[in-house]
Homo-oligomer: A and B are copies of this chain.
């Protein structure tokens, strides 16, 4: 039976919602977790929910605050996040879920758990929705200044994610640039292009910003700076659009009635678009699954994150990734 270490003290609604998420995962999906954090508080929630003794608790007395510098986590060795990471590193847990300080979770993923041998750097991939399906954007924040080799690795990670987890056969891979034609882009893109072209990936050339939500590529590769600003801009654009429409709707009674009638359809759409529904964002290429959820994660989001961590294990994601890194990248580039 696999066990995911869950950082019960990270996130806006910790420990309450996090512990409840672990209970949900067990009750609804039969998935076990290791609850890491303030033992007394965790046990009192478990007791209240009638779950005492059914889930394993590991005490960690310290906490990483949401706005602490991420590097602090390597000094605070008694924090729930660090202890959870250590349990994974030592093989006592099979993956990590945290709704805490994203930078700190990344730091634990990169430096406490570490990446698989074939890889220099793990990367964060998100499956963004489009009218035809999903497009994986990778990296969206784990690696800020990148070399061509890193982007090549991200492409293989994204390929493996699309194929193994999203079920997309022979995914179409693109590199994010500012024009379709080969030769368009910044220095990093121009240097990475030939590496991708020479690989055994299904490389389709440059993708533009407009391809991200168009369904024209299955995997789009970029450095973590670019991916992060795009991801956050997209979230904020979505919210701004909703707010601006709301304000227009408020002005007319008929429009308000219309909005009411549309509500079920809008909610269906929101469910599809909301990637919190998917159960967090994975740090891909870490030795064991590391799932970073939104700081506002509730019990359901935590349950989903635990489910996703288990999916990565069930699909032997890391074995496939290691295999692909050997198989899809030519020897001369790998060396």
Contacts and interface: CB of A to CB of B under 8 A. Distances in A.
Interface of A: 69, 103, 129-131, 141, 144-145, 176-179, 181, 185-187, 208-214, 222-226, 228-241, 243-245, 247-249, 251-252, 254-255, 257-266, 268-269, 272-273
Contact of A185 (B225, B235, B236): B225
The 7 closest A-B pairs by CB, nearest first: A209-B232, A258-B261, A258-B262, A209-B229, A213-B240, A255-B265, A209-B233
Contacts of A214: 236, 239-240
Contact of A240 (B129, B144, B187, B244): B129
B273 A262 contact: no
Contacts of A259: 258, 262
A237 B240 contact: no
A69 to B, nearest CB: 8
Copies of this subunit: 2
30 contacts: A103-B179, A130-B240, A144-B185, A176-B229, A177-B229, A178-B225, A186-B223, A208-B229, A209-B228, A209-B230, A213-B233, A213-B237, A213-B239, A213-B240, A226-B226, A233-B233, A238-B241, A241-B241, A241-B269, A244-B272, A244-B273, A248-B269, A249-B265, A251-B265, A252-B265, A254-B261, A255-B262, A258-B260, A258-B263, A261-B261
A223 B178 CA distance: 12
A97 to B, nearest CB: 22
For the residues of A in contact with B, the DSSP-based class is: helix
A60 B316 CA distance: 64
A231 B209 contact: yes
B265 A228 contact: no
A245 B241 CA distance: 13
Contacts of A187: 145
A244 B269 contact: yes
A117 to B, nearest CB: 27
A187 B147 CA distance: 13
A208 B230 CA distance: 10
Interface centre among A185, A248, A249 (most CB of B within 10 A): A248
A68 B165 CA distance: 40
A150 to B, nearest CB: 13
Contact of A212 (B103, B176, B236, B248): B236
B233 A210 contact: yes
